[in-house]
Amino acid sequence: MEKRQLGRTGLTVSALGLGCMGMSEFYGPRDEHESVATIHRALDLGVNFLDTADMYGPYTNEELVGRAIRDRRDQVVLATKFGIVRDPAKPNVRSVNGRPEYVRTSCEGSLRRLGVETIDLYYQHRVDPNTPIEDTIGAMAGLIQEGKIRFIGMSEAGPETLRRACAVYPVTVLQTEYSLWSRDPEDNILPVCRELGVGFVAYSPLGRGFLAGKIKRFEDLAPDDYRRNSPRYQGENFNRNLDLVRKIEQIAASKGCTPSQLALAWVLSRGNDIVPIPGTKRRKYLEENVAALHLKLSPADLARLEQVSPKGAVSGARYPEPMMQLLER
């Protein structure tokens, strides 16, 4: 398994990670037995970078990951997140908390649910506009000094916030959505990460599954699938984005690979400081994703992809408006 270094603080992970969110929530029916088997298969294949968060479930995804790695902790680079707060009475409502006391309480809860003594990479899931980033990062630095976490990460932080955070303590990783249909990080985020020596983790590198080419109709989504509320999956946006995927499928066919593999190979080609973390809850898709590591894209391939999926080609926002307000603060 190819390894990649994230940032300048000593974190090295497999070139492809595994997003575990969908094993517990958001993407239709779940099978815990298959999810655990998928995590085990990932580790067997050398995928050692597992991504979860306390808000997935909420809480149940950390518990599932904890059970899966109980006897394999030494094989795992474990990442989790804090900061998005969900209202039990209104599951779809989100708020953000970055206060130092909340950072500590959240970390202790995650350690308990995961069944570990140390979290390898601890992310602030979203930036709290009501708490100075210096206070939040300072609290996370305190957790490093206590041995509760090893590295600090941020998710969906804006460039200036990242600069301020790094002035307090070295941030190892920034995580943001990045794929053939979410290329905004190329404008400001990636250049600043590279300037500051911050690694980049690309979540949703398959466009929340759309780029895999398996979803042909809105009705293909389960009734409880989160994507039914995603602007990119709705109305005319769906049809326009489906046309984009068809063009990617044509290129994949000419390469003798799947659209998923082509989309992942594209993200992997964007730099050795980038690690995509495609999510799946099934072994067969995991194995398909891992095979993308062997797919090499020529300059001609990259040019074709640039032609069919240039920056801004996708239709619709990444999230519904209330969640868009939480991005790049």
Which residue from 191, 196, 246, 187 is spatially nearest to 216, judged by alpha carbons?
246
Distance CA 208, CA 206 (A): 6
Pairing of β 90-96 and β 84-87: antiparallel
CB atoms within 10 A of CB 21: 21
- Annotation marks residue 102 as catalytic: no
Helix, coil or strand: residue 59:
coil
298: CB partners within 8 A, 6+ apart: none
Distance CA 82, CA 19 (A): 16
Q: Which two tokens stand for residue 298?
A: 């020529």
Tell me the C-alpha distance between 202 and 267, whole Å: 8
* Distance separating alpha carbons of residues 167 and 151, to the nearest angstrom: 15
Which of these, 229, 185, 186, 193, lies nearest to 208 by C-alpha position? 229
Position 66, amino acid: G
N-term to C-term CA, the chain: 35
**Strand (E) or helix (H) holding 86:** strand 84-87
Which SS3 state, helix, strand or coil, does residue 203 take?
A: strand
The dihedrals phi and psi of 18, each to the nearest 5 degrees, come to -130, 115
Out of 27, 56, 178, 233, the active site residue is 56
Residues marked active site are found at 56
